[in-house]
Amino acid sequence: MTLRPINPKRNYGIDALRILSMLMIAVHHIITHGGLLKSRELFSAGYDALVAAELCVLCAVNCYVLISGYVGAFSKTKYSNLAALWLQVFLYSAGITLVFKLIMPAKISLRVIFRSLIPVTSREYWFFSCYFILFLLMPILNLAVQQLSRRRLEVLLVSLYLFIGVFNSVYSAYYGTDTIDINRGYSAWWMMALYLTGGYIRRFDVLGRVKKSRFLIVYCATVAVSAVLKLLTQSLSMQLEGALKHNTLFYQYTSLNICICAVSLLLFFRGLNVRAGVCRAVAFLTPMTFGVYLIHDHPLIRSYVIKRYLGFMQKMNAPLMILCVLLTAVGIYVVCSGIDFLRVKLFDLLKVKPRLEKLEDGIRVRLSRTKG
């Protein structure tokens, strides 16, 4: 295996955060899709440990979008990159469905096959469906990051976080409805706010002189306080109303505590000094990061692998269960990275990216001639 050469212009701390975020996403999916949290008695040691673990990793998706803004706000928007991503998504969406059709033909209907062929519109992967919209709007968002004054950009961000984040999170947690379709952060609207935040942090080097360790302390303290507040809210809900209500108040992507965790990790990793050997490993793993998500969170993998085979952890004691969750997440990352490595080599062999770039350049030239 040949590791990629180090690029002195690349921020490997940010790439390390990509990898960590995907590991955190895997942990989140094991806990939720594996049914671990639902299997535990309310307020037992295992339940409390899983709540704390969830709050540690729930900021991972926010981190991923913040990184997109941090990196992309000052980069040229290439639609060939979006096309390459779509091809990757289509390969796994349709390919994994085909494999399951061969293994268990009676379980895979024509409806399932059709959905796999249109992954963006069918929301086969909610993240990519929303990211697809975000990508199309990146040129406008980049102009906002680059051209607005610091004060105006800050007013815009504060307004978005108050309206979309704080107010909407509280409203949806208490009333169970979402009047502006933010969907607890599972939306392109929320991604736009995070993208602008990442670009803002990059442009103005926000808190650049603060020691990195303090951001890690903020992250850990926020997780601890969030766990206490969530468990306290649930306990009061059970005592006063006899049922778990307002359960998502501190548990949404749009929740203020989750945003603080994500921003803290970005601020910590952006200035991280990564050793040369680690840089090479990070550079090797980064191209496969998104593939880890596409493989392990495919609806059929989720239903017939994650839910079916990870239930063995439900009866473990709390420390052993958390250890198994972490080890399983690492295992998922390694296996999925290995599979996606083959996809990377296939795309390299077929020269997918250069051909898409050539196609994009050709379209740009034709459009410029038409305007002339």
Per-residue pLDDT reduced to its tens digit, 319-352: 999 999 999 999 999 999 999 999 999 999 999 9
**pLDDT given at position 1:** 43
Which of 287, 289, 298 is CA-nearest to residue 345?
A: 287
Average pLDDT, integer, range 281-296? 95
| CB-side neighbour CA atoms (13 Å) of 161 | 17
The least confident of 151-165, 242-256, 273-287, 350-364 is: 242-256
Distance CA 335, CA 176 (A): 38
* Mean pLDDT over each residue of the chain, to the nearest integer: 90
Distance CA 176, CA 182 (A): 12
Distance CA 372, CA 366 (A): 10
Cβ-count burial of 157 within 10 angstroms (0-12 exposed, 13-18 middle, 19+ buried)?
middle
Which of 247, 234, 254, 276 is CA-nearest to residue 186?
A: 254
Distance of CA 12 to the CA centre of its chain: 18
Query: Contact, 172 vs 249, CB < 8 A?
Result: no
| pLDDT, tens digit, 9 for 90 and up, residues 92-109 | 999 999 999 999 999 899
**pLDDT given at position 179:** 59
Tokens coding 54? 């969830």
The least confident of 41-45, 277-281, 287-291 is: 41-45
The least confident of 12-26, 82-96, 299-313 is: 299-313
**pLDDT given at position 123:** 86
- CA dihedral sign of residues 127, 30, 215, 52: positive
Query: Contact, 252 vs 258, CB < 8 A?
Result: yes
Q: Angle between the 188-204 and 256-270 helix axes, to the nearest 10 degrees?
A: 40
Q: How far is CA 173 from CA 43, 79, 250, in A?
A: 20, 37, 9
Query: Contact, 65 vs 191, CB < 8 A?
Result: yes
Q: Which residue has the tokens 């945003």?
A: 259
Band of pLDDT at residue 310, cut at 50, 70 and 90: confident
The answer on pLDDT for 163 being more than 90 is: no
Single pTM value for the model: 0.92
